Amino acid sequence: EQTAAPDHSRAASSAKLPSGRLLIDGKLVEPSGSTKTIDAIDPATGKSIMAFPACNAADVDRAVKAAHACFESREWRRMRPLDRGRLLENLALLVEKHRDELAALEALDSGKLLAVTQAIDLQFTIDGLRYFAGWASKINGEYVTHNPLVPEDALYRAYTERRPVGVIGGITPWNFPIGQAIQKLAPAIAFGCTVVLKPSEESSLTTLRLGELIAEAGFPAGAVNIVTGLGTDAGAALVDHPLVRKIAFTGSTATGQRILEASARTMKRVTLELGGKSPTIILADADLERAIPGAAAAIFSNSGQICTAGSRLLVEAPIYDKVMEGVSRIADEMQMGSPFDPSTQIGPLISARQQDRVRSLVDAGVAEGATAMAGGQSGSGDGWYYRPTVLADVTSDMTVMREEIFGPVVCAMRVEDPADFVSLANQSEYGLAASIWTNNLDRAHILAERIDAGTVWLNTHNILDLSMPFGGNKMSGLGREFGTEAINAFTEPKAVCMRL
Ligand code: NAD
């Protein structure tokens, strides 16, 4: 049933494949260091799409030196902020023009549903470019008129400036490839940095195609560079490079820890957007017409491969059975299939490895005493599918409740005493996001205040708002991106103090 539809390969052919060349110093080039390649695989069929370069440290060095030369160049320093914004706007127009083709390529390479990629990922990409284009001309320092340590009439003045950090290494995961590339590139350029992007080896094709559009958009040579390759090779080389001043990373907590350690050697700045195990909290007074489909979408969108996925479902006892029945029914009825089929509601996971991981975590959960009310098995046939799964009677000590699964699996718990919601929600090493579903404003805001997470949604889940700070607490990361916090993430304050 979930096998790729017969016309999958025909639909997939609407994707325009990238040339496979890197973007270095304004030109589309072959790697000069490594001759190795990686196969891009279609997760819906397990078949190879094309090969692309597996860069090594020499290729990364070339890209970083180009980014550094651009950052230090007269052309970059003299560029007006408004014109930096215009570069992002040019790119937004090009992405808009190639929107259908980019969405098809993303669906082919990452297994994301075409319709969702069109409506959400590509819109986010275009909006992100425009949002940060606006910031380029609106960065100010502060003028300190009243210094608490000097008398009012002292001949002393001080002000701050915001200087770009320098060369940014942007390392991205596979679940939102083109959106994540823009999430690093756009603020870097807006705030006057230059950038080297390294997409995930699991889904590099749209970032490579983006490189071709960047080459057309009029950026000064070296402002944006794109290298592909393995994390442990190209990624690690970027983290180790002394000319890279900051790593903007999105990915798993384990890799984030490795990057944080490695960054200590060169005292790099880092922002780390890492994993999560976010609770969806449904209170007894919630509007269940909204909360039940909301809880299902919170975990099953993108086959559960969203860092903020609502993977722990905490439900107040009086409505627990009804919620479980509703979410399980949605899971059972979800149509699995080709990402190109408009009736598909759930696509494949990114890789065989990920499918194995989801399968073994669910099996372990069931062995530990959880009940699979829906799903609990892989899809049959080609591709790396896993049925949307609802696990009931899960307890806090079970592995499934603690570890990020990154698949379409929700672990549910009945909460007898509403006073326990805060401690149960916070009983996780992660602290990325949470949603609270209730019609009681007081309870909503009191819970929102006490939950230890970077984002709390009320009566919704997974809204990514570019104007809000985004990032995680505890093991979910370090620092924030988006909104005004992006200024701190990509600039360094400088204090200028003077005696008159
Ligand atoms: P991953 O950590 O395996 O890989 C992410 C990136 O890091 C890839 O580009 C990879 O090549 C690179 N990498 C791997 N090892 C490296 C090393 N030693 N040095 C430098 N780079 C290295 O993550 P993934 O499996 O691609 O993505 C899934 C994870 O990302 C999940 O944990 C998910 O929660 C997280 N994620 C977080 C957010 C967020 O904003 N918080 C958003 C999306 C995904």
ipTM entry: 0.96
pLDDT computed for residue 144 by the predictor: 79
**Tokens linked to 141:** 């320092």
C-beta of 403 in contact with ligand 1 (< 6 A): no
* Nearest ligand 1 atom, CA 258: 18
Three-state secondary-structure class, residue 414: strand
**Tokens linked to 17:** 């494949």
Q: Which of 201, 212, 273, 404 is catalytic?
A: 273
pLDDT computed for residue 382 by the predictor: 84
**Tokens linked to 224:** 């944006």
- How far is residue 307's CA from residue 475's CA, in Å, rounded to a whole number? 12
**Known active-site residue 403:** no
pLDDT computed for residue 154 by the predictor: 83
Do residues 432 and 275 touch, judged by C-beta distance below 8 A?
yes
**Strand partners for 346:** 336
Buried/exposed 201-221: b ≥16 CB within 10 Å, e otherwise:
bbbbbbbbbbbbbbbebebbb
pLDDT computed for residue 2 by the predictor: 54
- Measured by CA distance, the residue closest to atom 32 of ligand 1 is 252
- How far is residue 402's CA from residue 413's CA, in Å, rounded to a whole number? 13
Q: Which residues of the chain have pLDDT under 50?
A: none
HSE-CB for 257 with a 13 A CA cutoff? 7
pLDDT computed for residue 377 by the predictor: 87
- How far is residue 111's CA from residue 386's CA, in Å, rounded to a whole number? 13
Strand 389-392 versus strand 156-164 pairing type: unpaired
pLDDT computed for residue 6 by the predictor: 59
Which residues are CB-neighbours of 434 under 8 A, at least 6 positions away?
278, 279, 280, 281, 425, 451, 453, 455, 456, 457
**Which of 109, 176, 200 has most ligand 1 atoms within 8 Å of its beta carbon, as the pocket-test mutant?**
200
* Nearest ligand 1 atom, CA 199: 9
C-beta of 232 in contact with ligand 1 (< 6 A): yes
pLDDT computed for residue 222 by the predictor: 98
Buried/exposed 25-53: b ≥16 CB within 10 Å, e otherwise:
bbebbebebbeeebebbbbbbeeebbebb
Whole-prediction pTM value?
Answer: 0.97
- Measured by CA distance, the residue closest to atom 8 of ligand 1 is 200
pLDDT computed for residue 456 by the predictor: 98
C-beta of 200 in contact with ligand 1 (< 6 A): yes
